[in-house]
Amino acid sequence: MRGKKLLLLVGLTLILTACQGSQKEEPKTSIRIGISLYRGDDTFINNIRSVVEEKAKEYERESGIKVTLDIQDAKGSQNTQNSQVERFIALGCDVLCINPVDRMDASLIIDRAMTAGVPVVFFNRQPVEEDMNRWDRLYYIGVDARETAVLQGRMVVDLYRKQPDAVDRNGDGVVSYVLLEGESSHQDSLIRTEWSIQTLKDGGVPIEKITGGIANWERSQASALMEQWLLACPDIIELVVSNNDDMALGAIDALERAGIADVNVIGIDGTTPGMEALKSGKLLGTVSANKELYGSAIVGLAVSCGLGEELPEEYPLEEGTYYWTPQEILVRDSAQGEGIEEN
């Protein structure tokens, strides 16, 4: 009798376990995404964040799957970001979207994510290859820095070929420029600087560097540097090459304070304030990442790997890991004729 009871119990347990197993396989009706930004006050990152929020709502409406975004600001601290990641995992996030503070130091985040089995979509600040190769559920979304730089150089080359005096403002056969660089540890700063200048040289623009400096992507830092340069080298600077729009706007602020209007300023990003400066003619041009695609790739990839679905085909991944967002040149109308030109 006891033997029969035991068998019945074992049988029931097996049936229950099987039922629980099949329940687990039911499709998820909600997803929780943990997002950490290296700095919440960065203009470009904020533009991307807005698109991500918009695309997540769009996905929720279309799919009926509830999307919870938990967005945190790491305020420039890798330690803070690491704690945010711990919290996301403790809260049961299905996927993480990380804009690393220190791209060289993503290993702790990767360790935690791997242990918990939570995939990670990194963006904008590219972790080193060695880290990215540690797991096949790590992805990166960004723009190709060399392509950005070549496009930035090309906009001046094109203008110089059409209208040399629009670039060589004093007509002395030399284009004197200053350079504003982003954070020294960021992959974009070095590559953008190198290839932008190389493209100007290869394109036959007779450039000469007056000076340059690091302004860490920031408008106020760039404005202070430009103010010093204008005082030290009055009436010489003809072109400001900036690694991003915010620093370009800082240079424009300093030029305005000094009452100078004939210096060309070029940026990168196509941020909201950058686009305003372009429309009002203060910025000569910028290289704009397609933010719609950038943000929708973050959401699309995060949602599909968080739900354990196949990855979306519209964001082709190089080496199964990297999605490079397309970008375009935008120049002000006076440089090209009609309206803002998109190449």
Which residues contact ligand GAL by CB under 6 A?
42, 44-45, 124-125, 182, 186, 188, 217, 244, 246, 268-269
Closer to ligand GAL by Cβ: residue 193 or 244: 244
- Tell me the closest approach of the beta carbon of residue 144 to ligand GAL, in angstroms: 11
Task: Supply the minimum distance, in Å, between the C-beta of residue 262 and ligand GAL.
Answer: 26
Burial 160-198 (b: 16+ CB within 10 A, else e): beeeeeebbeeeeeebbbbbbbbbeebbbbbbbbebbbe
Q: Measuring CA to CA, which residue among 138, 89, 95 is closest to residue 116?
A: 89
How far apart, in whole angstroms, are the C-alpha atoms of residue 307 and residue 27? 8
User: Between 73 and 238, whose beta carbon lies closer to ligand GAL?
Assistant: 73
Nearer to ligand GAL, 183 or 341 (CB): 183
C-beta separation of 120 from 84 below 8 A = no
Give the dihedral sign, CA 67/127/109/36.
negative
**CB-wise, 89 or 293, nearer to ligand GAL?**
293
- Give the C-alpha separation, 191 to 142, whole Å: 14
Q: How far is CA 187 from the centre of its chain?
A: 11
Considering the complex, what minimum distance in angstroms separates the CB of residue 284 from ligand GAL? 17
Asked if residues 38 and 100 have their Cβ atoms less than 8 Å apart, the reply is: yes
Element (H, E) at 121: strand 120-123
- The rounded Cα 232 to chain-centroid distance in angstroms is 34
Instruction: Sort strands 327-331 and 341-342 into parallel, antiparallel or unpaired.
Output: antiparallel
C-beta of 207: minimal distance to ligand GAL in Å? 22
Cβ closest to ligand GAL, residue 55 vs residue 192: 192
Task: Give the residue with the Cβ less far from ligand GAL, 139 or 217.
Answer: 217
Q: How far is the CB of 217 from ligand GAL (least distance, A)?
A: 4
CA-CA distances (angstroms) from residue 186 to 38, 89, 100, 128, 177?
12, 27, 11, 11, 22
Least distance from ligand GAL to the Cβ atom of residue 264, Å: 19
Q: How far is the CB of 243 from ligand GAL (least distance, A)?
A: 7
Nearest to ligand GAL of 183, 227 (CB atom): 183
